[in-house]
Structure 1
Amino acid sequence: MCILLCTRKHPDYPLIIASNRDEYFDRPTQLAGFIDENTLCPVDLGRQEHGTWIGITKQGRVAVLVNYREPAMECLNKISRGSIPMKFLKSNKKAITWSESANKHMNGFKDVGGFSLLFGELQASQGGKEIMPLHIMSNRYRETVSVFNTEETLNRQDNDRYHKMQLFDTIGLSNSPYLEPWPKVTEGKKLVEEVAENAVRQKWNKDKLVSKLFEVLTVAHPSDPEKWLNYNLEEGFDQMPKSIFVPPLRKTKGPACSESKSKPTSLYGTRTQTVILVDKHGKVTYVEKTLHSSEDLTEKPQLHCSEFQIQGWVDGRNAVSAENKQNDGCEMNEQTSKQTHPVKLLYSAN
């Protein structure tokens, strides 16, 4: 039961993304990396489409997908949900044009399990202080909406279907309708805003900001991982709407929702955490922490970081060169590297 939290509350980072992927621990997955010259994302190997749930390109296309919580019989569909963000990331069409085309050619996404998708093209606005609006679409909600608007961009759209909440500085998605957030989303938005505000007030460097965002992604209710291991499946899933982080949960029968056709595993929980920062000059920092890739609970997390420049970003002075700087080995300070201790030390709560 994944979660996505985004904010624009930090003046140096027009977009901050923090995301947890909750999944079965041994579902085959390729760690985040550049899968071609432009696209940075992890890859789900559990289905033949080899889709993704989160990704960003050097051209500034970004997509993050979360599933809907639905009965197991509805979850294994003809088309993998992960194929949708991958299609957007590899498309050259403008975001709204792409969404209309994809909806038409995929028959209204009727052969896809329930999902919400944050997607769009990252472009500077107001001299790099803001980003142009992004979008949220879903096959379980009646319309595509725009987010991270300003009064100016909202008025320019001249469309009364957009909700006032689209002016908010922080948004969140999980496994319920966007306008009906679970408690974990409400709490997560509050915590991410507090991190951004503290980062500004206390002048944190980038590494500390990343570290604090990972702390938000590790808030669990209850915080004791042994309680989660002792839950039966129904008890564990009942806790997920309240818990940003999902410690290992031992499955006692078939999965509540899995798109993989492989044999179900016995452990489920938060297995991958991702933080993406886009600064006011269009530089992207992408940090992925893989907590679990097997059922070995003593496995140490794998930390991977990439940096690159969005092509054509305008930061108020000039358009950034199309030549991109890529760094697959970002310098992470001690506060971040501490997160590489054994998994059993990672759980926390307020």
Structure 2
Amino acid sequence: MCLIALAWRPGHALPLLVAANRDEFHTRPTAAMAEWPDAPGLIAGRDLQAGGTWLGIGPGRRFAALTNIRDPHAEQGSRSRGELPLRFLLGNQGPEAFLNELRREADEYSGFNLLVGDRHALWHFNSHGGQVQALPAGIHGVSNAGLNTPWPKLERAKAALAAVQDEPDEPSLFALLADSTKPDDAALPDTGVGMELERLLGSVFITSPTYGTRASTLLFIYADGTRRIIERSFGHDGRPSGEVRFER
């Protein structure tokens, strides 16, 4: 998962609203979001190469989402980051306790951001910064750097989410995730991958023959515990290839 915009509003009828894109190589085998037969109550996409996930909901009204940190010069971890959302979703620790325990083994993974919580609490951990923090109410976003790092595509997504958060509808939320606007070169971050790749990765929605936005996901978590999650999949040409939805 490479871009997550969210509205976190404790005490609201809709405490958590999430709009997220997963960007990945098109050759990486993936199963669309579903309830996992080997983990009842877990609803998530599945990385068929390493076995993990990038975003999902689980028993106990749990939520978890992951993004990678883009740093081509960093040492690569020995374990798959995709196991991290699963560990929280299928566990019984609270968000803060889970992330504080994870801090001690974070160097076993390549760089990541992890969001974990439910309708009552939402916590974030960035493995490069090492800080476990409860998110304050508001509009937040994370891509492949830190929480709320002002990359142009993340700022666009957050602004679009803020504009519809009072009356969030699926078409508007999917539209913000489909934004293919390319920022000016001067506004792009320098993450060490070269300007050509920075341009490709600079939009909310990414399209190329080899790498791009594979799925867009909307998640609504209501104060009464009801959850609605919708995933739209895309092919290498950026066209929709399927959609699934679940309500729990």
Q: Normalization by structure 2: what TM-score?
A: 0.86
Aligned to 2:211: 268
Which amino acid is 2:241 matched to?
A: P
- Following superposition of structure 1 onto structure 2, how do residues 142-291 of structure 1 map, counting pairs within 5 Å? 142-147=130-135, 166-167=136-137, 169-197=138-166, 199=167, 209-222=169-182, 234-239=194-199, 242-248=202-208, 250=209, 267-291=210-234
Tell whether 2:246 aligns with 1:306: yes
Question: Aligned to 1:237, what secondary structure does the other structure show?
Answer: helix
Distance 1:6 1:179, change over 3 A: closer
CA distance in 2, matches of 1:136, 1:25: 28
Which of the pair is proportionally richer in helix?
1
Which amino acid is 2:144 matched to?
A: N
What is the CA-CA distance between 1:73 and the residue it aligns to? 6.8
* Percent sequence identity over aligned pairs: 26
Distance 1:88 1:111, change over 3 A: same
Residues 221 and 227, structure 2, Cα contact 8 Å, conserved in 1: yes
- Following superposition of structure 1 onto structure 2, how do residues 1-350 of structure 1 map, counting pairs within 5 Å? 2-8=2-8, 11-35=12-36, 36-47=39-50, 50-71=51-72, 74-75=75-76, 77-104=77-104, 106=105, 109-120=106-117, 122-123=118-119, 132-147=120-135, 166-167=136-137, 169-197=138-166, 199=167, 209-222=169-182, 234-239=194-199, 242-248=202-208, 250=209, 267-292=210-235, 295=236, 297=237, 300-308=240-248
Unaligned regions of 5+ residues in structure 1, if any? 124-131, 148-165, 224-232, 251-266, 309-350
Question: Aligned to 1:85, what secondary structure does the other structure show?
Answer: helix
Residues 174 and 181, structure 1, Cα contact 8 Å, conserved in 2: no
Superposition misfits of 4+ residues, deviation over 6 angstroms: none
CA distance in 1, matches of 2:161, 2:148: 19
Distance 1:298 1:216, change over 3 A: closer
What is the CA-CA distance between 1:241 and the residue it aligns to? 5.9
Residues 33 and 41, structure 1, Cα contact 8 Å, conserved in 2: yes
CA distance in 2, matches of 1:85, 1:8: 19
What is the CA-CA distance between 1:273 and the residue it aligns to? 0.6
Residues 176-216 of structure 1, C-alpha deviation per residue, up to 9 Å, x if partnerless? 1225331211111110010123x2xxxx7xxxx01210000
Question: Aligned to 2:165, what secondary structure does the other structure show?
Answer: helix
Distance 1:246 1:72, change over 3 A: farther
Residues 81 and 112, structure 1, Cα contact 8 Å, conserved in 2: yes
Distance 1:285 1:143, change over 3 A: same
Which of the pair is proportionally richer in strand?
2
Distance 1:188 1:298, change over 3 A: closer
Unaligned regions of 5+ residues in structure 2, if any? 184-192
Distance 1:194 1:179, change over 3 A: closer
Which amino acid is 2:2 matched to?
A: C
